[in-house]
Structure 1
Amino acid sequence: MKTGDFADDALMEDINIPDNLKPNGARFTYIFYPKEHLLFYEAYYEGKSFGPLNAERFVRNMLNQPSIVKKYGKVDVTHIPSKDELNEALKMPTKEKVELVITRPNPDSFDKTRQKVMKRMNATNVETYEQSFKAIQGSSIIIDGDLMTMAKIAASNGKVFIKGKDSNSNPIEFSTTNHPLTRKQYFNPKLQDAFSVLCDLTSKLKDDIIEWFK
């Protein structure tokens, strides 16, 4: 920091860092709503970022430790996608292909459709349910009520992929995995603390997500 030079070997020999300590540690606060099975996390703190892919991977690995899987079975984790981005994709002028991948929904879901899907998957020993729709050549897939419902289930318990063309007939693709739900919230640290802001924000987001996926 003082000279801008690299540390020489003699100086490095005096440094002894235990194997169980790693550099660049960071803390990110999270809030979990067990009843709704929703976990919200802080994606930025003191100059460090925690991206959606890393967050999803971290939570998945944490919840699929051998002791947990042995007692409760495999735990699936889906990063909630952006509602606006998905709705825009479903309005794609020409939808040539729609693919839905549904992992096992929560068994205690209050949504009757999700309960029905879960019961059917249990009855048939299915871990992942996939549906693929391909439009008649020269036509576009119509998103009716049933398909919209299944798309919402896939968005919250799996993924949705749509391929088609925009209004200028240019090829376009969409995947919920590439459009995770994120929110930015600015605040004055002299008047509010980060955790209180996170609590307020996640409480509103929780209600919005539940309402959207009804």
Structure 2
Amino acid sequence: MTHERKVPISALNIAMHEPHSPQAYVDLMLGLYAMRRIVNVRTLTGVLIGSMYPFDRRHPDRGLTGEIYQFTNLDRSEPWFDVNALDEASEDDVKDIKIPDHLKPHLARFNYVFFPHGHRFYVQTRNKNRTLGVQSVLKFFRLLLSDESAPQSPPIEVTVEPDRDTIAQILKIKYLKRLEITLVRPNPDDLSVAEKRLLKKLSHQGARQMDVRLHADSSQNLEPDVETVTLAKVAASNGAVVGSGRDAANNPVLMSTVDQPWKEVAHFDEDVQTEKAAIIAKAQEMHQKVRG
């Protein structure tokens, strides 16, 4: 009898502006881990990089893996509730409660894999009955990178990797009336010749971000040209794309890459493979798709 488990995985694009290198990404991630900083992604939900180690200690640029810890980060200034009295607990009731600052309840662990070549961070988003949404991981990294003690590096953009079919679905909206594209200057390592031309255009103008908004005439529909489609494809992983209009039945349609994170599932038999091994294998498979 097999004991099959399913583990969902999503991805972030952690892109460093030039100058950069795979080793620079390794140094960045090791520096973030060394901070040992707890970040509250929700009011009482703390997140911490709990562990990090390379696949190959002689070649750390081949990949890093470890666990993200999620737990309840109690705010001691908030009132306690007395379930017997159905009222707020008094100071006398709670004065003897002593929980050391270094102990945090409701721990959950989520595996991750980071590839310096291609700078993608793949993370487990559910572990049994606990979840860690990719948007929470995004918030964690953005707040961690903005901390004054974060490792010094060129500017870094962190975005959620969208579902691979989202751009095609947006462009297939039957009556496309509005298309909004936000491109944050991408990393040249990932780009085709056409995409590098867009990057060069931004770089030459000293621009960090490009915003393009197309609105159709009331009597027409949008028909994006090759350059706009290329821009949208690059922005899908380096910014955001939003399209709106109406479908064939004249129902309103609104689609965004931000709302459609890439999700894949690692399937494995607990009797023959560990959860960690299954997640690493799936992350490698996903990364091959990213790098084309």
Q: Same fold (TM over 0.5)?
A: yes
Following superposition, the deviation at residue 83 of structure 1 comes to: 1.7
Q: Structure 1: which 5+ runs fail to align?
A: none
Alignment of 1:1-214 (within 5 A): 14-68=96-150, 71-211=152-292
Tell me the amino acid that sits aligned with residue 124 of structure 2: E
- Native 8 Å contact 1:163 1:172 kept in 2: yes
Following superposition, the deviation at residue 56 of structure 1 comes to: 1.1
Following superposition, the deviation at residue 180 of structure 1 comes to: 0.6
Relative to structure 2, which stretch is displaced further, 45-54 or 16-25? Answer: 16-25
Q: CA RMSD in A?
A: 2.4
Q: How many residues in Structure 1 have an aligned counterpart in Structure 2?
A: 206
- Native 8 Å contact 2:195 2:231 kept in 1: no
**Helix, strand or coil at the partner of 2:276:** helix
Counterpart in the other structure of 2:38: none
Relative to structure 2, which stretch is displaced further, 22-31 or 189-198? Answer: 22-31
Relative to structure 2, which stretch is displaced further, 49-58 or 12-21? Answer: 12-21
What's the CA shift string for 1:122-151, capped at 9, x where partnerless? 332222111111122222111332222111
TM-score, L = length of structure 2: 0.64
Counterpart in the other structure of 2:80: none
Following superposition, the deviation at residue 121 of structure 1 comes to: 2.3
In structure 1, what is the Cα distance between the partners aligned to 2:201 and 2:150? 24
Q: Structure 2: which 5+ runs fail to align?
A: 1-82
CA 1:14–1:67 in structure 2 vs 1: closer, same or farther (change >3 Å)? closer
Following superposition, the deviation at residue 20 of structure 1 comes to: 3.7
Relative to structure 2, which stretch is displaced further, 101-110 or 73-82? Answer: 101-110
In structure 2, what is the Cα distance between the partners aligned to 1:182 and 1:76? 21
In structure 2, what is the Cα distance between the partners aligned to 1:205 and 1:115? 23
Following superposition, the deviation at residue 11 of structure 1 comes to: 8.2
Following superposition, the deviation at residue 40 of structure 1 comes to: 0.3
In structure 2, what is the Cα distance between the partners aligned to 1:47 and 1:101? 35
Question: Quick one: percent identity of the two aligned structures?
Answer: 26
In structure 2, what is the Cα distance between the partners aligned to 1:189 and 1:32? 24
- Native 8 Å contact 2:170 2:242 kept in 1: no
In structure 1, what is the Cα distance between the partners aligned to 2:158 and 2:124? 17
Following superposition, the deviation at residue 82 of structure 1 comes to: 0.9
- Native 8 Å contact 1:107 1:118 kept in 2: yes
- Native 8 Å contact 2:245 2:254 kept in 1: yes
